Amino acid sequence: MVNGRKISAIEATLPSILELSKSNLLASLEALDQPKYRAEQVWRAIYKEGRTSFGQMTNLSKDLRGILAQNYSIGNAATVISKKSADNSTDKILFKLPDGELIETVLMRYEPDGHRRGRKTVCVSTQAGCALGCTFCATGQQGFRRNLTAGEITEQVLTMERLALAEDKEEIQAGTRSRGELQGVTNVVFMGMGEPLANYENMMESIWVLNDPKGIGIGARHITVSTVGLVPGIEKLAKENIQINLAVSLHAPDNETRSETMPVNKRYPIEELIEACKYFVTKTNRRIFIEYVLLKDQNDTSMHANKLGRILKDLLCHVNLIPVNPTDDGPYHRTTYKEAQRFQSDLKTFNVPSTVRMEKGIDIDAGCGQLRDRALALTE
């Protein structure tokens, strides 16, 4: 199944039209002697209207629809496993790419909380596997396979957008959502499998597609890129002409502790990373989200909290404290909510704002790389 439908063997081997930028799509159609507005029509049909076949694009001529269908597919990631959490807040899909690689995508639903409207966030992968080897991460334990293309990144969001919009329509019919209030995906976070800044060009190309107001139209401030701390990538991202968010996976307040769980720290130690973060804030005037996975007895004591407060007190940031999603092969246990609150209280003495974020979808292996592990275990 691709995009929720069966495809032929021939269609499965065709290149994905999602790999074409808008300018390349225009050039391809001009080569077929098509007027420029046809590119806009195809672009809108795919990214705004969510069409999954060229046959559905009835505003195009029959001949053009046939030519496109002979030369392209609209995505080619096949759904292997689709799971929903018991509380219906989270969906996770394991996709199989044409070369056999497996990647994961998560859709998370958040109810209105008094400060923000309800939202639907897609967590996308940027690589098959990861080369950075963080010891508490299921993906890091799998090793690096390859970078994803821009189209493969974008396709994850398109698939979840169709799911989100279908839910909206069902709620409208049931009378639990106002008629005409189609929300779809509201946020995208690059926090799935892989290191986004290690696949920089494809990541940015996908962001421009997702941000395009003539497509899905995800606002820049609703897009977040997460990194383990690749300093050159952070500095490069700071210079991009788009107001996206940056999240930095810190996970320890000193080099010794951080190097035990995050090998990248030996290349870019905390001092260099914090300076890069300050540079990002100076260039963009945007606060940084500090991701801090709490590992019981490894980085979650009052001593660690006080160290963290001291290094972050002069940085415009917000800390997300995240009790770890344990993995089968991982050595770490989950910090209790009470312990996480104590850590948060210690941070507050340094005027460092923070939130304890309980992970969604634990019952469906929603942690990065966990569903892939489960699927591979079943085939061994």
Q: Which residues are catalytic?
A: 104, 368
Q: Which two tokens stand for residue 361?
A: 């979808």
Q: Which two tokens stand for residue 303?
A: 């001593």
Q: Which two tokens stand for residue 27?
A: 């050039």
User: What sign does the dihedral 165-169-172-176 (CA atoms) show?
Assistant: negative
Phi, psi (deg, nearest 5) at residue 41:
-65, -45
H helix or E strand, kind and range, residue 322: strand 317-323
Mind giving me the DSSP string for 325-354?
A: ---TT----BPPHHHHHHHHHHHHTTT--E
**Residue 239 and residue 228: Cα distance in Å, rounded?**
19
**Residue 52 and residue 371: Cα distance in Å, rounded?**
26
Contact by Cβ (8 Å): 311, 350:
no
Phi, psi (deg, nearest 5) at residue 271:
-60, -45
Write the Ramachandran bin of 143: left for phi over 0, alpha for psi from -120 to 50, otherwise beta: left
Sheet with 245-249, strands from edge to edge, namely: 78-84, 90-96, 102-110, 119-123, 187-190, 223-227, 245-249, 288-294, 317-323, 354-356
Pairing of strands 102-110, 90-96: antiparallel
User: What sign does the dihedral 41-42-48-52 (CA atoms) show?
Assistant: positive
**Residue 157 and residue 48: Cα distance in Å, rounded?**
12
**Residue 279 and residue 273: Cα distance in Å, rounded?**
10
Contact by Cβ (8 Å): 105, 122:
yes
